[in-house]
Amino acid sequence: MMTTSNRKTLVLGLGNVLMSDEGVGVHVVRALEQMQLPANVECLDGGTGGFLLLEPLQMADRVIMIDAATDDTPPGTIRRITPKYSKDYPLTLTAHDVGVKDLLDVFHIQGDIDGSGATQKEIILYAITINFKQPIALEMSREICAAADEVVERIYAELTAV
């Protein structure tokens, strides 16, 4: 039986750091890379997604994704969800929206499915609501920086829990 301590975990940060708050997932992964993480954890800057991420997703037993979302909640709102298919992914207007949703569907279609249609891998998404109308910049807004710091703490706690 595979325990939490020996399951390979991929922490995948998504986003475009050139678009201010939209790069929040990448910023979270970069912060986690600076921390002492268990040996079974791999951090990956997934940028704007795409099918190149399919292999790392397939190689992991557990995937923790961090991405920006644009919805009706206030900027800085953090949601931890477990999407199974693209329809479960939060609404976004980000540049990688279609790529990530397609990637999730292909990931599930390629056979990591048990007879019930549910994935056998654990997929967790931390969605951070942003104001998509931010100017192009390398820095994130104050509220998104605070949310990113909180997500770093939450993920670190998950990764190091005994």
Give how far Cα 35 sits from Cα of 30, 41, 88, Å: 9, 11, 30
**Residue 135 belongs to a domain:** yes
Tell me the range of 67-76, 81-90, 114-123 where mean pLDDT is highest: 67-76
Q: How many domains does the chain have?
A: 1
Alpha-carbon dihedral angle through residues 37, 40, 44, 49, given to the nearest 10 degrees: -140
Per the CB < 8 A criterion, the answer to whether 76 and 145 are in contact is no
For residues 19-48, average pLDDT: 94
pLDDT at 34 over 80: yes
Where are any strands of DSSP class E within the chain? 9-14, 41-47, 62-69, 78-81, 122-129
Read off the CATH number of the domain in which 134 is found: 3.40.50.1450
Query: 95: pLDDT confidence band, cut at 50, 70 and 90?
Result: low
Does residue 3 lie in a domain region? no
Q: Is residue 15 part of a domain?
A: yes
Domain of 16 in residue numbering reads as: 9-160
| 63, β-bridge pairs | 10, 123
Give the distance from CA 88 to its chain's centroid.
13
Q: What's residue 3's pLDDT? A: 52
> Among 62-71, 113-122, 141-150, which is the least confidently predicted range?
113-122
**161 three-state secondary structure:** coil
Domain membership of residue 1 (yes or no) is: no
